[in-house]
Amino acid sequence: MKKLVIGELEAKVPIIQGGMGVGISLSSLAGAVAKEGGVGVISAAQPGFREPDFYTNTKQANMRALAREIKKAKEIAGGNGIIGVNIMVAVTNYEGFVQCCIENGADIIISGAGLPMDLPKYAQGSSIKLAPIVSSVKACKVVTSRWLKKNNKVPDLIVIEGPKAGGHLGFKAEEVAEKKDNFDADIKEILQYIEEFSKQVGKKIPVAFGGGVFSNEDVKHYLSMGLDAVQIATRFVATEECDADIRFKQAYINAKKGDAVIVQSPVGMPGRALNNHFIKDTVPAGIKVTRCFNCLVHCDPKTIPYCISKALFNGANGDIDDALVFCGDNVDRINKITTVKELIQELTAE
């Protein structure tokens, strides 16, 4: 399979492991993926949630933990592959996370859940690679034009995220249903725009697609469409190296068809998660938010249905019934835990 080239960086296998917060993709998973020649991505969503001073010193705890996870992932990777960090646009202290990535030697920042309009400004003067996540040609046009006009910056990679992805989605709930099994035309339209834009700026921009990529055939299908890589998350949860609690992985293995549902998240976007006790019973009954972690720029603890940080911490700690368990649309197809090496071999076999 062709390698993924991002400027002077090279990943031997064209697989990006999608960032997964909170605590699902940290150094163990990201390092293992990079070691096999792919792009391993650490999530910057509350990375310090296990630090002893997290509740009293949240910002510093997050920075300390992210710095440590980047260094650990690089050590595990042993000079192979690429180490990235996923930063959600909606988080507070976005600029601080960007600086932390630069200072600690991350290779690339991949940023979505909103359009990362100011990412180049925060990363100015650094050679770190920058990649926006987009779900439509309109979003792609907006972010590429803005970066070029305001910062004279061309994305080093663009990730297209489709409606089958896990976590937050860049679509309205009704669009998800409409486009779920019918997204290739949208991908082609975005690819065509990126090709024209690349010609205009005189720089090749590699493009990845993520959302429901499950099998070796899927990988081949998207590469044959002209994509340079695929971004995969759900399948990497069911690996030994994934940083999630074993009960989180087990919940994926137990999932049946129809268990992945669209939920409204306090981030203000729809998301895809398992339809568990938390979604079916706890949220509709109403949850009083007693503690605010100040994690999102636009969040009012008085009006949100639940605290997303708390709901995601519960998942990371294995308290699955009381958690928001993000997952991709194909979660029911997962039936065993494997290793990152085996999974990458399966996905990339010729």
**Residue with structure tokens 């080093």?**
156
Quick check: 164 binds ligand FMN (CB under 6 A)? yes
Beta bridge partners of 207: 158
Q: Which residue has the tokens 């920042």?
A: 109
Residues 189-228 that bind ligand FMN (CB under 6 A): 210-213
Q: Among 6, 88, 98, 137, indicate the residue that binds ligand FMN (CB under 6 A).
A: 88
265 touches ligand FMN (CB under 6 A): no
Residue number with CB closer to ligand FMN (4 or 125): 4
Residues in contact with ligand FMN, counted by CB under 6 A, come to a total of 29
Counting contacts by CB under 6 A, is residue 47 touching ligand FMN? no
Q: How many residues does the chain have?
A: 350
End-to-end CA gap in the chain: 7
Q: What is the DSSP string of 274-339?
A: E--HIIIIIHHH----------BSS--TTT-SS-HHHHHHHHHTT-GGGS--B--TTGGG--S-B-
CA-angle at 204, arms to 202 and 205, nearest 5°: 125
The interface region with ligand FMN, picked from 76-84, 181-189, 198-206, 326-334 by CB under 6 A, is 326-334
By CB under 6 A, tell whether 165 contacts ligand FMN.
Answer: yes
Site string for ligand FMN, 269-308 (x = CB under 6 A): ----------------------------------------
DSSP assignment of 230-267 equals: EEE-HHHHTBTT--S-HHHHHHHHH--TT-EEEEE-TT
Could you tell me which of 120, 127, 43, 29 has the C-alpha nearest to residue 86?
A: 43
334 belongs to the binding site for ligand FMN (CB under 6 A): no
Q: How far is residue 128's CA from residue 124's CA, in Å, rounded to a whole number?
A: 9
DSSP state at residue 2: P
C-beta of 37 vs 112, nearer to ligand FMN: 112
* Member of 31, 166, 206, 266 binding ligand FMN (CB under 6 A): 166
The nearer residue to ligand FMN, 157 or 213, going by C-beta atoms, is 213
| Contact stretch for ligand FMN (CB under 6 A) within 51-59, 158-166, 254-262, 339-347 | 158-166
Number of Cβ within a 10 Å radius of residue 287: 16
Query: What CA–CA distance (Å, rounded) separates 36 from 11?
Result: 9
Q: How far is the CB of 166 from ligand FMN (least distance, A)?
A: 3
- Is 233 near ligand FMN (CB under 6 A)? yes
Rule CB under 6 A: choose which of 58, 62, 198, 231 binds ligand FMN: 231
Evaluate whether 308 touches 279 at the Cβ level (below 8 Å).
no
Binding site residues, ligand FMN, CB under 6 A: 18-21, 24, 43, 45, 86, 88, 112-113, 133, 161, 164-167, 210-213, 231-234, 326-328, 330
